[in-house]
Amino acid sequence: MRIKRRTKRFFKWVALAIPMLLVAAFLYLLLRTPSRAAPSSITVNASQANLERGEYLFTTVCDCDGCHSQRDFTRLGGPVVIAGRGRGNVMEVSDLPGKMVASNITPDRETGIGSWTDGEKIRAIREGIGKDGRALFPLMPYTYYRAMGDSDVQALVAYMNSLPAVRNPLPQTKINFPVSLFIKGLPEPVGNVADADTDGGAMYGEYLVTLAACEECHTPASRGQIDPGMRFAGGRRFQTPYGTVVSANITPDKNTGLGKWDFVRFKERMQLYRTYQTTEAPVVGPERFTLMPWHAYTRLTEPDLEVIFLYLKSRRAISNKVETHPAN
């Protein structure tokens, strides 16, 4: 009889404890602040070398234009409208958990980041923390930019500081619950990051592929979470008002990926849009819509293309046949 009473008391306490623990967990997620460090007090060097490297990172490797600049999606590849470089945009991809806005990152003081310090810009790029201390949604690929070396992030900020200020008021990002709680766990301080060895072969290729966030688009995802067992195997579907596209398999699989490609073919494909650096891209419909930043990557240097190709060819081959342009 005594054992039965003890058992009943035990289950009674368990029944009371579970909702209390759930409430405590919810309050923790609701009230916690993201992990963050104070921004550095650095003022970046606006040397010619820094500006040139920063422009290459902004317009080519990291393709900051892809989200933050005005683009003309009525034309092949969505070329950048130069007058709207860095102005910010409301993102129009269907599977995002809320209303996502790529911020105005020009030096406009009212609608851009003209009032931010260089340290705050570096912290946002590599750590995912806004000027106001909030966690940025990882559509801004700061989880990849953590790998960006100190010299590169400073060069990137130097170039951003040189952009013409564009006044473009934008709404605030509004992230749906419960994603709004979970993203607080993503930012983390990174401190100093050693510069990558440009003579590092495939290792430098990995660095460039990481900054380009190739894995993010070229890996299947469910509810925004990529499948680590299918890295670079393609198959991620993007639906936009302009058209639908599915990312290609870029693993070295011989039948469904890049396994039969040599460097010459890879370089020719990556530079296919080179002619549109000096001539206007043609008007297209949904059947030729692409989110792949061909206009950016056509400017990659040949040495950078070589190490990127070396790195991709070193990955695990995964068989995954992809139809990149399904019927719209």
Question: What are the residue ranges spanned by the domains of the chain?
Answer: 42-195, 197-328
C-alpha of 294 from chain center = 16
Angle (CA) 147 153 156, round 5°: 135
Statement: residue 88 has pLDDT above 60: yes
Statement: residue 328 has pLDDT above 80: no
Statement: residue 268 has pLDDT above 80: yes
What pLDDT sits at residue 31? 45
Burial readout 297-319 (b: 16 or more C-beta within 10 A, e: otherwise): bbbbeeebbbbbbbbbbebebbe
- Which residue would you say has higher pLDDT here, 241 or 190? 190
Report the range of poorest mean pLDDT among 104-108, 288-292, 302-306, 311-315: 288-292
Q: Are strands 101-102 and 89-90 parallel, antiparallel or unpaired?
A: antiparallel
Average pLDDT over residues 241-254: 94
Statement: residue 14 has pLDDT above 80: no
Percent of the chain with pLDDT over 70: 89
Confidence of residue 17 (pLDDT cuts 50, 70, 90): low
pTM score: 0.90
